[in-house]
Amino acid sequence: MLHPVLEEAVDTLLTVWRHYDDVTRRRAEHRVRAAARHKLDLERSRVNRLRRGLHPETRELEEVAFSVRCPSLDAPVFIRESDRTGDDYACPCGDVVARPVAVFPPAEMT
């Protein structure tokens, strides 16, 4: 079962994708196509970020630095070292989280 936030993000991605497909089929002007493509890329990135944080694939678990419970998603999330910005990390929900003092291996959070 997918997390409700991830399901909503996938639904939004499909809606944006249909709009982009419609815009390209109509051969709309370049600015309109570029804006639709930009929105599609943003939604695709959001879905991928949420998926990697909530349901990482086996090979992606190797990149996980630590796991933490996200209060806004109300679920454990997997934070990767590549999510680091300075001393803080970017949570899949978009919030900034600090590295916890006690770091548990990802397997203990599932």
Query: Per-domain residue ranges for the chain?
Result: 4-54, 62-108
Question: Three-state SS for 86?
Answer: coil
Task: Please state which of the ranges 1-5, 29-33, 48-52 shows the lowest mean pLDDT.
Answer: 1-5
The most confident of the ranges 31-35, 59-63, 69-73 is 31-35
Segment (H or E) for 18? helix 4-26
Averaged pLDDT for residues 89-95? 90
Q: Give yes or no for a contact between 89 and 98, defined as CB atoms under 8 angstroms apart.
A: yes
pLDDT at site 105: 61
